[in-house]
Structure 1
């Protein structure tokens, strides 16, 4: 330890003076001769020299004493910078210890937090080989990842979405134009229509809705299967062509279709069970209580169905990426969603709202344009309750639907896949496997910078 006056080890109190029987500190070389008494002059006629009786005799030399932070409270003397190489100056703000480099004259650690003197500059960022950083994700990063996938690999993403949307919309337009009858749709808006006309119109409407729903479901399944492959490769920063995506997804498409049909059957069964008691009560003659019970049953069934749909919402990417069966994919989804139901529900809801709002901005103008180009005009289309099914209307509105589907497919599928990846990073440290697959070493949930998202 350096015993030069003006230096003391942290925590000591040099102002207390040496203890009895302890050797005093060496005298500095730049001080005058022997210390004189505070009350005796050194020569006749001279003023008394040295500090008064309240001062210690061991005073630091000039220009060697400084108190870090401006003061040393409690009578404790903080150490001055010791002489010798390797100590440097203290960084502004008092951070970083005793040297401007990391530690006592040594180099700073990586990222600026490995030594004493470099100061805290925060952890290094997580590896980001693709559209997302390899760490737990926040809400904004999931949404941005879905949009970045569509923007970076737009040829593949929009090519898949456009192909699927065009095929499904052509089938829907041909079905509505060739099979459905306008007179049946108009009967629903005619107060004088008979029971037979109303029954036939309701049957046509149900047939139209069912066929459109099934066709849209098939298109959604195919788009989801292909876009799942594209998004999973985009996380690693690897591109994929439409042909490669189809070859990778084709073995699982039938299982994915079965999974979605099973989920729809579960939903329909829950709704049926919830509404059946009220309907039976209404048929028995208790109309008021029956209607009330039916409404309560619909609300309860809707809550249960929503809970199950979110619980199994990650089954689709689990089935596609893990090459699992339907039952195993559903159990995997339930395990990943467990404990984070509200978070996943909120993100899925937000993504759906954003996608539908953007699609509506495109589809609604095309719908009015189709009505204006039709024979009856916008007023005639509105007066008919939107039941006009002319070819001009169907084709123009179909173009708007295709453009809208090109936007909704990538966003909804991308968010679902990234939610699945995020949950596996949080639960199973998937980021380590992704980092190895992307050729990035030393990164993951246990590496510096793996800050969890919200």
Structure 2
């Protein structure tokens, strides 16, 4: 038989030598920042960091430019238009009327929404450009900022629609979950309605998270496959199917790492800004202490720029490499990548 010692094909040291001298398959080719084979969690994270380290001029240049433009817009809006303390005073005033509270809450939501929209637009542009850079880095091919822009520009409008659509879907799901409790509360049963709204909201949040993970690879599918919004979402669902927990865990880990890095950078700048501003640390802790000064806005904005410059490449790189890894596992994309990289 094949397994008899000293005989046949499988015997250690046998005539054919298959069992004694074969050292396993050759190592996977690595023309760029990752080996062309199914990746582990550490290799995905390392690939994102390696892309930033190897092509730092392009990657950090894109991130810094987008972060500076975004933060300047936010600072100017907060300094000139969104720095109204009457709303915050009304929210903290027990004697405020319902009309004052409603107006203050509306102004606060509008201010937060405008800042969030500006930040989201900057993130869309950075994600589009960094997706192009990371996909080239997998092949070991450098790309300039101009080349990344020319490659990403045709898909920017679709990427914007996709990025805005996903949170709307999540909010609608949570809203549908809380709606029965709200209706019960309006009907007259306040306590039962509140409890039902909380339970429905939690159930809706679970469903929303489940869907968002299934759609989490839509962005690289849209950018790299030149797909439409709906087609890229269906591609993401197909790639994530059967690997939901793995995709969720890697995305969560990348988010935690990015937030830790951002906090390490942003918190010291925020404390320095509070110390140098007129109200000091008490003004940072007291939301009704007066207008936010330009000193605080500028110094804290510098910290936000540095934090975004470091975290944007990590988040975008992990998503792109996770997309590539899922395609390698399901569609043998590694063979096409090796061929594109010129690997024998």
Which interval holds the TM-score relative to the shorter structure?
over 0.9
In 2, are the aligned partners of 1:311 and 1:334 still within 8 Å (CA)? yes
* Residues 88 and 288 in structure 2, CA contact (< 8 A), matched pair in contact too: no
- Which ranges in structure 1 are unaligned for 5 or more consecutive residues? 1-10, 12-67, 69-77, 80-94, 105-114, 442-454
**2:241 corresponding residue in structure 1:** 338
Alignment of 1:264-303 (within 5 A): 264-303=167-206
Q: 1:133 to 1:174 in 2, by over 3 A?
A: same
User: What's 1:440 paired with?
Assistant: 343
Shift of 1:386: 8.4
Give 1:97's match in structure 2, choosing from 7, 10, 13: 13
Q: In the TM superposition, what is the alpha-carbon distance from 1:155 to its structure 2 partner?
A: 0.6
Q: Is contact 2:279-2:289 (8 Å) kept?
A: no
Q: Give yes or no for the alignment of 1:240 onto 2:240.
A: no
- The 1-side partners of 2:12 and 2:142 are apart by 44
RCO (CA 8 Å, sep 6+): is it higher in 1 or 2?
Answer: 2
CA shift in 2, pair 1:199/1:286, >3 Å: same
Greater shift, 388-397 or 145-154, is seen at: 388-397
CA distance in 2 between counterparts of 1:386 and 1:237 reads 53
Partner residue of 1:131? 33
| Residue 213 of structure 1: aligned partner | 116
- 1:403-454 CA-to-partner distances (Å, cap 9, x unmatched) read 111122111110110011001101111000000000002xxxxxxxxxxxxx
CA distance in 2, matches of 1:408, 1:191: 40
Question: What secondary structure, in the 3-state scheme, does the structure 1 residue paired with 2:39 have?
Answer: coil
Aligned counterpart, 2:51:
149
Q: d(CA) in 2 for partners of 1:193 and 1:370?
A: 31
State the alpha-carbon separation in 2 of the partners of residues 206 and 256 from structure 1. Answer: 25
Query: In structure 2, which of residues 48, 56, 72 is the aligned counterpart of residue 170 of structure 1?
Result: 72
Please report the TM-score for the alignment, with normalisation by the length of structure 1.
0.71
2:332 corresponds in structure 1 to: 429
Q: Please give the root-mean-square deviation of Cα atoms over the aligned residues, in Å.
A: 2.1
Q: Deviations over 1:298-324 (max 9, x none)?
A: 101101111110111111100100011
Greater Rg over alpha carbons, structure = 1
**Distance in structure 2 (CA, Å) of the matches to 1:117 and 1:280:** 72
1:352 aligns with 255
Structure 1 counterpart of 2:222:
319
Measure the CA separation in 1 of the matches of 2:223 and 2:184: 44
Q: Tell me the SS of whatever aligns to 1:246.
A: helix
1:183 maps to 86
Structure 1 CA distance for aligned equivalents of residues 176 and 318 of structure 2? 32
CA distance in 2, matches of 1:191, 1:388: 21
1:78-118: per-residue Cα shift (whole Å, max 9, x none)?
99xxxxxxxxxxxxxxx9515xxxx57xxxxxxxxxx4586
The number of equivalent residue pairs is 338
Counterparts of 2:13 and 2:190 in 1: how far apart (Å)? Answer: 81
Question: Post-superposition shift, 1:346?
Answer: 0.4
Say which structure is richer in helix: 2
More divergent stretch after superposition (279-288 vs 232-241):
279-288
- Uncovered stretches (5+) of structure 2, i.e. residues with no partner: none
Distance 2:269 2:54 in 1: 28
Is the 1:275–1:294 contact (alpha carbons within 8 Å) kept by the matching residues of 2? yes
Q: C-alpha separation between the residues in 1 aligned to 2:150 and 2:18?
A: 55
**Are the equivalent residues in 2 in contact too, given 1:129–1:438 (CA < 8 A)?**
yes
Q: Which deviations, in whole Å up to 9, do the C-alpha atoms of 1:14-38 show, x marking residues without a partner?
A: xxxxxxxxxxxxxxxxxxxxxxxxx
